[in-house]
Amino acid sequence: MELIRLPNTATSEEVAKALKEHGHCIVENLVAPEVMDRIAEEMSEFITTSPYGEDKFLGNLTQRTGSLVARSETARELIRHPLVLDSAKKHLSKSSTMQLQLTQIITVNPGAPSQILHQDQLAWDFFDFPDDFETQCNTLWAMTEYTAENGATRVVPNSMYAGARQKFTEEQTVVAEMPKGSVMIYTGKIYHGAGTNTTDKIRQAININYCAGWLRQEENQYLATPPEIAQTLDDEMLKLMGYQCACFAMGYVRDFEDPLDVFRGKKERRSAGFNIVTDNGNDVTKNYAEELGG
Ligand SMILES: O=C(O)CCC(=O)C(=O)O
Ligand SMILES: [Fe+2]
């Protein structure tokens, strides 16, 4: 069985369709390999000092290096890649807002064994979300070449509606081989895991995940990016990081105020609430807001 591959001219409609029907797709050569080299350079001091995982899931020979918003200006371009963001918005359209869930470089070192096959949405206490509710739109960018030998991610085709806590074997997987600069976009439901690295070189991926705005983020964006750096970012980036209300009330500050207004120190005190939902709501919340009136 082959994985779903799209050219780098693909539209977000095509990506969203692939996610719905297959739980994943690979977009080859979406950015130039030099973009990956720049990120490697900006992140190198942090990567060398990142600890190994403490368990088999995180990988005893695997390093995870986060805080990409704060640490790498080039990574911010990937975080806001238009194709990825538009596809994620479509994929997560049942929720009023979406947000960055985590950013990390995953370095699979030589000799690292394969990771347990899993769904990323297990993060929320293994809650078995309904098939028609999508929690996440996730990306693994090939920061190095992604090969069967160096531990490229393995995917279980058509596993996205199998339900929580299912077990699959390596024989049921297909390797997501792809050139450096390509990206695999996948849902929180598809079973996958890092492969075994049998080479003498590292395998690296940039893992950037997005989730429904009302779910708790895995990487704490408010602490990962110090306020003085956050203040230099534009509103769109801050909203993506979670400086906005999800639905009508999730994340308000003080007297029911909008978090971005508070962070920017705006004098005018605008109340959060269903008025927010009219801009970015899903159909159910928008209709509710309209019924409530001003
Ligand atoms: O590194 C990989 O190939 C996949 C990692 C992964 O799936 C995870 O940590 O959730
Ligand atoms: Fe995963």
Q: Which residues have C-beta within 8 Å of that of residue 25, sequence separation ≥ 6?
A: 3, 4, 5, 6, 10, 15, 18, 19, 184, 185, 186
**102, 188 in Cβ contact below 8 A?**
no
Q: Is the CB of 106 under 6 A from ligand 1?
A: yes
Averaged over 178-184, what is the pLDDT? 98
Helices (H) and strands (E) in the chain, counts: 11, 10
Cα distance between residue 180 and residue 155, in whole Å: 18
| Distance (Å) from CA 267 to ligand 1 centroid | 44
91-184-188-23 Cα dihedral, nearest 10 degrees:
70
Averaged over 109-134, what is the pLDDT? 97
| Distance (Å) from CA 70 to ligand 2 centroid | 23
Weakest mean pLDDT among 95-104, 125-134, 196-205, 264-273: 264-273
Q: Is the CB of 156 under 6 A from ligand 1?
A: no
**169, 233 in Cβ contact below 8 A?**
no
- 253: which strand partners? 257
| Distance (Å) from CA 171 to ligand 2 centroid | 18
Q: Which helix (H) or strand (E) holds 290?
A: helix 283-292
**241, 100 in Cβ contact below 8 A?**
yes
CA-proximal residue: ligand 1, atom 6 (nearest): 193
Q: Is the CB of 120 under 6 A from ligand 1?
A: yes
Cα distance between residue 102 and residue 91, in whole Å: 17
Predicted local distance difference test score (pLDDT) of residue 257: 92
Which of 65, 173, 192 maximizes ligand 1 atoms within 8 Å of its Cβ, making it the mutation to test the pocket?
A: 192
| Distance (Å) from CA 121 to ligand 1 centroid | 12
Q: What percent of the chain has pLDDT over 90?
A: 88
* Mean of the per-residue pLDDT values of the chain: 95
Stated length of the chain: 294
Pick among 3.50.50.60, 2.70.98.30, 2.60.120.620, 3.30.70.360: CATH of 5-221 = 2.60.120.620
| Span 55-66, pLDDT tens digits | 999 999 999 999
Looking at residue 189, the DSSP 8-state letter turns out to be S
For the question of whether the overall pTM of this predicted structure is more than 0.75, the answer is yes
Check pLDDT > 70 for residue 201: yes
Closest-lying ligand 1 atom to the alpha carbon of residue 59: 9
Which of 115, 184, 196 maximizes ligand 1 atoms within 8 Å of its Cβ, making it the mutation to test the pocket?
A: 115
Domain ranges of the chain: 5-221, 244-294
